[in-house]
Amino acid sequence: MAGTDARWRLGAGAAVLLVLGAVAGGVAQRMVVDAQPDAVLPTPVATATAELVVDVQGAVAEPGVYRLPPGSRVLDALARAGGTIDEAAPGALNLARPLTDGEQLIVPTVEQQAEAAQAGPEEGGPVSLNRSDAAALETLPGVGPSLAGAIIAYREEHGPFTDIAQLDDVAGIGPATLERLTPLVTL
């Protein structure tokens, strides 16, 4: 029986050593990971959906650049800028339109909006895709009420035009119309 007792003790001792070795190995591995400098560990990269950065200017209480959560709308940006001032033109902006990152919102005053409507596009000058109303857009060759409405609907849905070539994405404008309009429009 003495041989069986010795083997049992030897087996139990080996099992204890294995457990202690496994624990020590785990602790040592954790110490190595913790000892590595932060630069070695991957850092999260900001994604396009992390936040929107919007520049709000014009007839607002606190003009400036604001960070907003994804899915924010024009109304949210104006609220962050302290709201509009009394002189702001009501209805100048579509408050329900989703914002795009890097966008600039300019809230005109009633006076500025009246002046712009009165002046209309300069004779022979380019027509702004982002600021013109339907009447001004209809002064372009081949642009009637429905196409002017489609241009306005596109910019309300997708935000301001950032490139004249985006006109090709508007329903009813093909390559020939785009080529004809390009020298006559501006952003």
Q: Does the pLDDT of residue 129 top 50, yes or no?
A: yes
User: CB of 52 within 8 A of CB of 100?
Assistant: yes
Task: Give the mean model confidence (pLDDT) for residues 126-138.
Answer: 87
Percent of the chain exceeding pLDDT 70 equals: 67
Please report which confidence band the pLDDT of residue 76 belongs to, taking 50, 70 and 90 as the band edges: very high
Q: Does the pLDDT of residue 96 top 80, yes or no?
A: yes
Please report which confidence band the pLDDT of residue 180 belongs to, taking 50, 70 and 90 as the band edges: confident
Tokens of 157: 């849905």
CA distances 141 to 114, 120, 183, Å, are: 25, 16, 12
Task: Give the mean model confidence (pLDDT) for residues 135-164.
Answer: 87
Task: Give the mean model confidence (pLDDT) for residues 138-149.
Answer: 88
What is residue 165's predicted lDDT score, i.e. its pLDDT? 84
* Average pLDDT for the chain: 76
What is residue 111's predicted lDDT score, i.e. its pLDDT? 85
Q: Does the pLDDT of residue 137 top 60, yes or no?
A: yes
Q: Is 124 left (phi over 0), alpha (psi -120 to 50) or beta?
A: left
Query: Which of 152, 57, 66, 72 lies closest to 107, judged by CA?
Result: 57
Angle, CA of 76, 94 and 101, to the nearest 5° = 55
Q: Does the pLDDT of residue 2 top 70, yes or no?
A: no
What is residue 61's predicted lDDT score, i.e. its pLDDT? 95
H or E element: which one contains 135?
A: helix 134-137
Between 43 and 165, whose confidence is greater?
Answer: 165
H or E element: which one contains 122?
A: none
Query: Full-prediction pTM beyond 0.85?
Result: no
What DSSP assignment string belongs to 14-41?
Answer: HHHHHHHHHHHHHHHHHHHHHHS-GGGS
Task: Give the mean model confidence (pLDDT) for residues 151-158.
Answer: 89
